[in-house]
């Protein structure tokens, strides 16, 4: 009898390259589990996608939340397809999951993996200058879905898009961000808003940030930035930041910029966390379904692997950190060889070739 820990994973490959990279992540996760021997994964795959929506008229069945709650974690590929407006696919699937599973934190680490070529010269010379964790508010703000349209989209159309900010929502994300900053060597937090122009919700962000900061005086160094100036600082002075906290919309944009600065949107991971652990958390690369390269077998699976490594870290509650680090080491060893990089990283390897190389490397490293 083995007393292996079995983790139940809800796998939602979704659309386009989401399918390829989820398959790649599952292969690497299984190889990791097999090599380590103390745990394994049991997957339920859900065919919730735009393709399915076009055929049957729905993305997820009415009892989707109950089905997901039977799992320890959710692994998500990507959703979205040109034949379905993006706001429909987002609001039919990803946003309801984040909101109803209480995944109020979205953590997006960015650093320059060994073997990755950064587009900015300072970072080519000193890759260690970019090592950030972006903490994105994931439950409210600009993506609260509040607002309305009158007079259709015609000449007299009026539309409102309300951002909702609550003290409870802001306070919990600030605490998470300060704790994240505290756990890292540099112990530094930068808070981003647009509180000069947006004078209600963003000013509340400033107030709550100041309040929570008092609890971390002398422990975490902190500063504030306006989002526009922040984009410049990320490019020109990457070494001056460590942990970054921002709203749903701002952090969405900043994390794409961060991924591009680190070499490719195809490598960046994200974790949608319910810190209370009452609901399963969800792990997904930050990129989308990439219809322009879908079906070609050339998607970079590294963002998917890195997301899977973060899932292992979360599931292990501290006990699998070493395993997640080994997984990352295997990924970086493979990136170190130009022959096993995909096109977006200047190579010509296929998704399958990179996946095989990473699985082989896991066998060696772990």
Binding site for ligand ATP (CB under 6 A): 17, 78, 80, 86, 265-266, 287-290, 292-293, 299-300, 303, 342, 344
- Pick between residue 14 and residue 238 the one whose CB is nearest to ligand ATP: 14
CA 55/CA 201 separation, integer angstroms:
41
Neighbours of 146 (CB within 10 A): 12
Q: How far is the CB of 21 from ligand ATP (least distance, A)?
A: 6
Smallest separation, CB 230 to ligand ATP (Å): 20
Looking at beta carbons only, is 80 or 127 nearer to ligand ATP? Answer: 80
- Minimum Å distance from CB 86 to ligand ATP? 6
Crossing angle, helix 167-183 and helix 201-214, to 10 degrees?
A: 50
- Assess contact for 318 and 291: CB atoms under 8 A: no
Shortest reach from residue 89's CB to ligand ATP, in Å? 8
Considering the complex, state which of residue 7 and residue 327 has its C-beta at the smaller distance from ligand ATP.
327
Q: Are 258 and 287 in contact (CB under 8 A)?
A: no
d(CA 271, CA 106): 5
Give Cα separations from 169 to 102, 205, 208, 263 (angstroms): 11, 10, 10, 32
Nearest Cα to Cα of residue 299 among 86, 108, 77, 112? 77
Decide whether 290 or 349 has the Cβ nearer to ligand ATP: 290
Report the distance separating Cα 307 and Cα 18, nearest Å. 13
Closest residue to ligand ATP: CB criterion: 288
C-beta closer to ligand ATP: residue 280 or 303: 303
Q: Closer CB to ligand ATP, residue 113 or residue 170? A: 113
Give the shortest CB-330-to-ligand ATP separation in angstroms: 18
Given a contact cutoff of 8 angstroms between Cβ atoms, the answer to whether 108 and 268 are in contact is: yes
Q: Least distance (Å) from ligand ATP to the CB of residue 148?
A: 23
């Amino acid at each position: 009898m083995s007393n292996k820990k079995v983790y139940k994973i809800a796998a939602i490959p979704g659309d386009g390259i989401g399918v390829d990279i989820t398959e790649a992540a599952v292969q690497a996760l299984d190889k990791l589990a097999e090599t380590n021997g103390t745990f394994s994964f049991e997957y339920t795959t859900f065919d919730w996608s735009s393709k399915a929506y076009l055929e049957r008229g729905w993305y997820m069945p009415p009892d989707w939340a109950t089905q997901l709650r039977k799992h320890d974690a959710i692994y998500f590929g990507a959703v979205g397809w040109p034949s379905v407006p993006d706001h429909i696919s987002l609001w039919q699937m990803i946003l309801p999951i984040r909101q109803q599973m209480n995944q109020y934190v979205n953590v997006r680490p960015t650093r320059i993996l060994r073997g990755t070529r950064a587009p900015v010269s300072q970072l080519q010379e000193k890759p260690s200058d970019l090592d950030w964790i972006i903490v994105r508010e994931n439950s409210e703000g600009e993506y609260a879905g509040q607002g309305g349209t009158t007079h259709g989209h015609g000449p007299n159309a009026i539309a409102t898009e309300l951002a909702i900010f609550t003290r409870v929502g802001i306070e919990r994300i600030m605490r998470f961000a300060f704790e994240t900053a505290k756990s890292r060597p540099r112990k530094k937090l930068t808070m981003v808003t647009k509180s000069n122009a947006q004078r209600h919700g963003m000013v509340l962000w400033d107030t709550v940030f100041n309040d929570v900061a008092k609890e971390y005086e002398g422990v975490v160094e902190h500063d504030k930035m306006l989002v526009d100036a922040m984009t410049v600082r990320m490019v020109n002075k990457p070494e001056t930041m460590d942990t970054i906290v921002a709203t749903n919309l701002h952090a969405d944009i900043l994390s794409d910029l961060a991924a591009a600065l680190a070499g490719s949107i195809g490598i960046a991971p994200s974790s949608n966390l319910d810190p209370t652990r009452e609901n399963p958390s969800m792990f997904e690369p930050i990129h989308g379904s990439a219809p322009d390269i879908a079906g070609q077998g050339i998607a970079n699976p590294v963002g998917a692997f890195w997301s899977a490594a973060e899932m292992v870290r979360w599931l292990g509650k501290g006990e699998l950190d070493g395993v997640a680090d080994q997984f990352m080491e295997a990924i970086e060893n493979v990136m170190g060889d130009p022959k096993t990089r995909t096109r977006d990283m200047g190579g010509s390897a296929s998704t399958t070739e990179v996946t095989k190389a990473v699985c082989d490397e896991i066998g060696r490293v772990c």
